[in-house]
Amino acid sequence: MKNVLVAGLIAVAALVGCKSQTGVVVGNEKFKVSVPALSTDVKQGETQVVRVSVEREDGFKQSVKLEMKAPTGLSVDPDNTTVNAGDKGDLQLKITAAKDAPLGDQKIMVKGTPENGDPVELDFKVTVSAK
């Protein structure tokens, strides 16, 4: 019974673990940028790691430039990078809250820009708490 419960929780976590935005570049070529769907909790002066990914669909073979923008008091490392056509597409971002970061919910913006085509933009929530 315990194994069934654990498997169920993992399945639910997989379903709600990320939100994504799909961009169409040319014809049916598509790419998707995914960010955490649930808020990431970070304490003032500490760092958390989150996963952002670029998934290629329907023959999409372009590089995608990712730019991340954090509000005052938060920093993202890296704050920009390129996921090349042959790369896996998974990225680990380090979210750091300054010692005096404002408490409460903040949003980090992620913009994915293909070599040719329109960019996609989405955000994810970070909740800053006192240390």
Tokens of 67: 């730019």
What is the spatial distance between Cα 70 and Cα 108, in angstroms, rounded to a whole number?
5
Residue 39: DSSP 8-state: P
More confident residue, 15 or 28: 28
Q: How much of the chain, in percent, has pLDDT values that exceed 70?
A: 80
30-83: pLDDT as tens digits? 888 999 999 999 999 999 999 999 998 878 889 999 999 999 999 999 999 999
Residue 7: is its pLDDT beyond 50?
no
Average pLDDT for residues 1-10, to the nearest whole number? 40
Residue 19: is its pLDDT beyond 90?
no
CATH code reported for the domain at 20-129? 2.60.40.10
Element at 14 (helix H, strand E) = helix 2-16
Closest CA to 41 of 103, 109, 121: 103
pLDDT band for position 118 (cuts 50, 70, 90): confident
